């Protein structure tokens, strides 16, 4: 992955999170954060 591609993907993720917070509020991001940590625990099981 090149630096340019990493910056573009990072910018896209930050923009998507910002749009999500503006449109739906921050409680949605808390829910997604909890689900993300559950996914990390599940993936770590397969390591």
* Surface-to-core class of residue 20, CB atoms within 10 Å of its CB (0-12 exposed, 13-18 middle, 19+ buried): middle
Q: Packing angle between helix 3-24 and helix 27-45, nearest 10 degrees?
A: 130
Q: What would the pLDDT profile of 1-47 be if each residue is shown by its tens digit?
A: 899 999 999 999 999 989 988 998 888 888 888 999 999 998 887 76
Q: Is the dihedral of CA 21, 26, 29, 33 positive or negative?
A: positive
pLDDT at 47: 67
């Amino acid at each position: 992955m090149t630096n340019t591609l990493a910056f573009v993907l990072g910018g896209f993720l930050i923009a998507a999170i910002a749009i999500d917070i503006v449109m739906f509020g921050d409680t949605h991001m808390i829910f997604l954060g909890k689900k993300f940590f559950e996914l990390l625990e599940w993936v770590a099981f397969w390591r």
